Chains A and B, each alone.
Chain A
Amino acid sequence: MTKRHVTRRGVLRTSALAGAGLALPTYLRAQESGFTNAPTGDTVTLGFNVPQTGPYADEGADELRAFELAVEHLNGGGDGGMMQTFSEQNLDGSGILGKKVEYVTGDTQTKSDAARASARSMIEKDGAVMISGGSSSGVAIAVQGLCQEAGVIFMSGLTHSNDTTGKDKKANGFRHFFNAYMSAAALGPVLEGLYGTDRKAYHLTADYTWGWSQQESIQSATEALGWETVENVLTPLAQTDFSSYIAPVLQSGADVLVLNHYGGNMVNSLTNAVQFGLREAQANGKDFQIVVPLYSELMARGAGENIAGIPGSQNWDWKIENQLGERYKGTNAFVQSFGKKYGFPPSQAAHTCYAQTLLYADAVTRAGSFNPCAIAEALEDFEFDGLGNGPTLYRAADHQCFKDVVVVRGKENPEDEFDLVEIVEATPVEQVTYEPDHPMFSGGSLGSCNAGA
């Protein structure tokens, strides 16, 4: 062992150093403004946190395109897109409240941890006053919690779990996208019409909050029709090969396979199911059927011809205004400016992110402030139209948007790679509305709005 020499000078020196070190943080004080990241200069920064890697990377890439387009329109570039059709005409292309909109991007990696780290750096380093994006409910819930703590607004992107505006709802979080309950409520009658009331369903479910809540919603909607649920098997989100999960399906006595999968997961599981001959199979004297409750053009593109005839639901579809008319105005304006910039039609993920950005900008303008509490007040019970979904309500009780749900099917004979989905019907909003205290949504509380520092 070494010998210890304690000298008077040594003690003095050490304690002076330690004291200076400890005193440093308290000595340096300078803090202003009433809320987190109040924009001071002539710009305002928004944070777009999307999956650039992982199973939802395609959706993330499309979300980012939509954000870039929205920022361009807010700053007066391009043709203005849905800003022209939006029922509120507060946005004039001069940024938000006269401040030029800038943005930062991050990669959520479809992991809660990485997403929170990325969102924290946007808030702490880049001074983002609003975070948007996320293409997984697990991530959306994690980031929404973070935004609540930090005191910034979270405008969620593609998140479909009931929990986002159910038991994990937060006062600073707002969701434009529809949810699993609405999917099930819209799909129920359509499934009855297509496949009758005597069916046995086998569920494959992505093992996280979205999968759970979607499975629960579909099960309760189909059981109300008289269907029977044979089994529900949970699959890991990171899974890429589903053969081992598909193999037992035919022997189980089920005659419908419900794939509670999204993105790359769904593309892989559907491809596996088709490879195993489920489309041609017979069970219980009926044709075997596959249902994909949450659908998107991007997934249809990934799955190719396997998607033909498979029913599902969407938040929005780029063809809806052409096919179902004036009620869904805004759609064509958005599709046109998106198509002009990127050369193909937008997905529903892109649409919801674009709409959320405009809704945020509009709420700030109406509130006259970037203060999250003022914005939340402006968004609560806000009714609007002209963003492609028809008349829509942002409900105050849970910060969920209520609007029509699009029920779709894979097209049998698609004309090109962007025309893979055909619209079956648009389920009116009344049919998918529920009470804020519905059992599938209960257990949480918004808490109160947090403006941070």
Chain B
Amino acid sequence: MLGLGKKDLGLLAAVAALTLLAPFLLNPFPSDSSLAQFNAGYPDLMQRFVIFGIFAIGFNILFGLTGYLSFGHAAFLGVGSYAAVWMFKLLTMNVIPAIILSVIVAGLFALLIGFISLRRSGIYFAILTLAFAQMSFALAYSVLTPITNGETGLQIALDDPRILGVSATADGSIPVTHLFGLEMRATEILNLGPWQFQFSAGYYLCAAIMLAAFYLSIRIFRSPFGMMLRAVKSNQQRLYYTGLNARPYTLAAFVISGMYAGLAGGLLASMDPLAGAERMQWTASGEVVLMTILGGAGTLIGPVLGAGFIKYFENIFSKLNDNVLHGWFAFLPDGLENAVVAIIHPFVGKGWHLTLGLMFMLVVIFLPGGLVEGGQRIGRLFRRKRGSEERAAQQTPAE
């Protein structure tokens, strides 16, 4: 079905089920329990999960298949965001034109940067892309202030000359982004006993687009084009000796992944119409590399898992403060309570980077294939218990 093999179809169905049921899956704790802190099922974070999932899927098409490590992908995300916000300011608050424009602009930008950067490979390519991204960041941050509004970030204002639609609503506020009238921030809340589940229109739009992006990525992985990209990764020299020019393929992969990044940027702006220059900073580019490696580079589902993992840490662990910790350990005697809080303190709140760094080290050392490899090992463990003879068959790489 859908031009996919049975295994891929299963994977797509699994991802579809996970994204559709995310509001339930991510809110496992009752909202008044002390563990509610770890619930991730609120619209903003769920949207980030799938949007950065798209970003990482796109990055993986370049890095996972061709092995070209781009350190400047955040530039495309940022360009996409700016394009989308300008579309909101000038044309309409409907998200469709904004998303389309952001993909196109990011694609053109990727074509330009890719055309120049792909003349080199390996570390030189990485440095070139990093340089371009930092250049774009500096431009957005100060030089192009009239277009980007610099550090303050580009926002929707009350006096935007919107061609289709109104500058301000009847009650004098800024109109919100919508999909043919369905407001992106519209959220249905379902209370089931102590549990609370939130269903956001914006999230389901992002999730649907993510599924489409994921499907496209599977098709690319399985296509002759994908095979060619893998050939580039395994031995580019040999490819050249057989008389094939690899550059059009790598450039195409670069542009496609740039368009994915632009799509992610456009979606970010559609969910929350603001574009800041820091989206293009090198740390943001590094983040998507981390996501891909953490999840498992070259696998289909890996980047999505990695993106979820990192965003979860960024948004949940950074909000644990001493007050929360004291709440958890209140049952301990006072001295012990303070000691435990003092030990945990450096790893939460503003120290979430530290925790993430440790996790990253553990994953890279013990699970070089990323989270996907972890899942595989667990799966294998169960199969071994059943005494299956298919062990040899499990040696194929994970997808």
Contact = CB atoms under 8 A, between A and B. Distances in A.
A149 B183 CA distance: 12
Given A52-B350, A120-B272, A149-B176, A28 B190 contact: yes
Identify which of A106, A148, A149, A209 gathers the most chain B CB atoms within 10 Å of its CB: A149
Contacts of B185: 149-150
Contact of B188 (A29, A103, A234, A446): A29
A82 interface: no
Interface in A1-58: 1-2, 4-5, 10, 14, 21, 24-26, 28-31, 41, 52-53
A444 interface: yes
B152 interface: yes
B338 interface: no
Interface in A395-453: 443-448, 450
Interface string A134-176: 0001100110011011100000000000000000100100000
Contact of A121 (B16, B158, B319): B319
A68 B174 contact: no
A1 B188 CA distance: 42
A121 B272 CA distance: 13
B158 A444 contact: yes
Contacts of B159: 443
Contact residue range for chain B?
A: 35 or more
Nearest to B45: A121
A117 B44 contact: yes
Contacts of A208: 150-152
A113 B188 contact: no
A30 B319 contact: no
A236 interface: yes
Contact of B152 (A53, A118, A209): A209
Contacts of A450: 173
Interface in B165-196: 168, 171-174, 176, 185, 187-191
A448 B274 contact: no
B168 A24 contact: no
B166 to A, nearest CB: 13
B79 to A, nearest CB: 15
B199 interface: yes
Contacts of B39: 125
A4 B4 CA distance: 9
B151 A124 contact: no
Contacts of A4: 1, 3
B3 A28 contact: no
Contact of B151 (A21, A114, A138, A145): A138
Given A121-B42, A448-B171, A2 B153 contact: no
29 contacts: A4-B1, A24-B199, A25-B199, A25-B201, A30-B189, A52-B350, A53-B350, A103-B323, A104-B321, A105-B323, A105-B349, A112-B151, A113-B279, A116-B272, A117-B315, A120-B44, A124-B198, A141-B152, A142-B152, A149-B174, A168-B157, A207-B145, A207-B150, A236-B151, A238-B141, A444-B158, A445-B158, A447-B171, A447-B174
Which 8 A-B residue pairs are closest in the complex by CB-CB distance?
A208-B151, A125-B42, A120-B44, A112-B153, A52-B350, A124-B42, A447-B172, A138-B152
